[in-house]
Every structure is written in C-alpha cells, then in structure tokens.
Amino acid sequence: MRTRVVIADDHAIMREGLKSLLEKKGVDVIGIAKNGREAIELAISAHPDVVMMDISMPDLNGMEATATIRQKVPDTKVIALSMHSSKHIIDKMFTSGASGYILKESAFEELYDAIKEVNKGNFYLTPSIARMYVDYDGNMVKALGDLPVSKEISKKEREVLQMVAEGEKTRDIAEKMSVSIKTVESHRRNIMKKLCIFSIAGLTKFAIKEGIISL
C-alpha cells in the first residue's frame, strides 16, 4: 500500500518541491500544511502514515505540533525536518515524540529512507547527527526516549555564556564573577560540550536565539 504523507513547512517552494520529489517516488502526499496548527488538523482528519514536520514555523511550531499529533493520533508518525543540528533542539524534538530527524542539508534520498524506516516502526536519525548519540564503542548513549541529555546549562554557565556572547574576555568575566580564570574556562568548556557548539561565534548565535543577549 502506498505511504500517505502530510507535509508541514512554512515555505511554499519547499512544500511544493518536496511534494514533487515524493510523488516521483510513489508516495501519496495527501495534505499540505503551512504551520503547526494546520498540521494537527490534517493529521486528525486524514490520519496520514507520516508527517514531514518543519520545526520552525509561525503560529505553532513543529515541536508543539508534534507533541499534540502524537497524543491525539498515535498511529501517525512524525519526522522532523530541520535546518538546525543543535543537540538541544533534537532532544526536544524526540521527547515531543518524533520518530525521525533529518536535516534540510540532507539529500532527498535520505528523507525517503527515513519515511520508509519510520513507516516500518523504526527510528531514523540523520547519520551526521547520530554520532552525537553514540559513544566511542558505537553504542547508543541513551535510549531515544529518556534523554535527560537535554543538558540545560546551569546558572553560572548561563552567566558566562552571556558575557562570552557579549564579547567579554575570559579574564574580565573571571573578574566580574570574582572567580579564577580557570573556573570561567571550565564553564565555557562545559557549555560548549553541552550545546555541541565549539566556537565563540556559534555561542553568540545561540545566545541570541535563546534570548540570553539581544542583537
């Protein structure tokens, strides 16, 4: 039986392009949503096998829409389609009940694979991201359900992050916080590990996105 899919994305060109590609592969695109709210309505009324869910959408984002769909239509699986590869977001997406996560940078073939896998009841994770969840021996670090790995950064780390993103040097941060340079370095390192962001530029962007600093 043909797989029945709903596409949710705020960009029309992306929706239409993806529809075209999926139909070439014999996938039935039975619905199109331009925000999370529409996606929920479609999932409830049409009971698709899979929803391809963009995360950043106006009105109601993909994260919340996923949670609602999984709750109201448990048979419908959700694959997150994202621009971002931040662990933070991925964790949230899986705890919201997504069965797959792929990047828009991924080739379409990968997206197609993801649909097939998820439709079989499996999970799918973009290979480049899967590494984050795997230790050196190749074992899953955590089961994909109970990820307390969504490491929220601590209070002090947040303080340091803010000052780093504001362009302060380690020495000045240490002074302002009345701790040693080593401590600030420790914090910065831990922040980077937790967020999987390994540059000042990246931390700055993260801080802006999270509202820790403003532009």
Partner DNA sequence: GCAAAAATCAGGGTTTTCCCTGATTGAAAT
Partner DNA sequence: ATTTCAATCAGGGAAAACCCTGATTTTTGC
107 binds its own copies (CB under 8 A): yes
- What share of residues in the chain are helix, strand, coil (percent, to 5)? 50, 15, 35
CA atoms within 13 A on the CB side of 171: 0
DSSP character at residue 100:
E
Among 186, 205, 210, 213, binds DNA (CB under 7 A): 186
Centre a 10 Å sphere on the Cβ of residue 140 and count the other Cβ atoms it contains. 10
155 binds, among its own copies, DNA, none (CB under 5 to 8 A by kind): DNA
CB of 198 to DNA, least distance (A): 5
Query: Which positions from 158 through 177 interact with DNA, judged by CB under 7 A?
Result: 169-171, 177
Q: Compute the distance between CA of residue 215 and CA of residue 197 in angstroms, rounded to an integer.
A: 19
106 binds its own copies (CB under 8 A): yes
Among 89, 188, 195, 212, binds DNA (CB under 7 A): 188
Q: Which amino acid is at 49?
A: D
State phi, psi for 77 to the nearest 5 degrees: -95, 155
Query: Which positions from 119 through 148 interact with DNA, judged by CB under 7 A?
Result: 148
Centre a 10 Å sphere on the Cβ of residue 64 and count the other Cβ atoms it contains. 15
211 binds its own copies (CB under 8 A): no
Q: Compute the distance between CA of residue 151 and CA of residue 206 in angstroms, rounded to an integer.
A: 14
87 binds DNA (CB under 7 A): no
26 binds its own copies (CB under 8 A): no
CB of 1 to its own copies, least distance (A): 24
Binding window for its own copies (CB under 8 A); candidates: 38-46, 136-144, 167-175, 188-196 = 167-175
Q: Could you tell me if 98 and 74 are in contact, meaning their C-beta atoms sit under 8 angstroms apart?
A: no
1 binds, among DNA, its own copies, none (CB under 5 to 8 A by kind): none
Among 18, 94, 187, 206, binds DNA (CB under 7 A): 187
Q: Which amino acid is at 121?
A: G
120 binds, among DNA, its own copies, none (CB under 5 to 8 A by kind): none
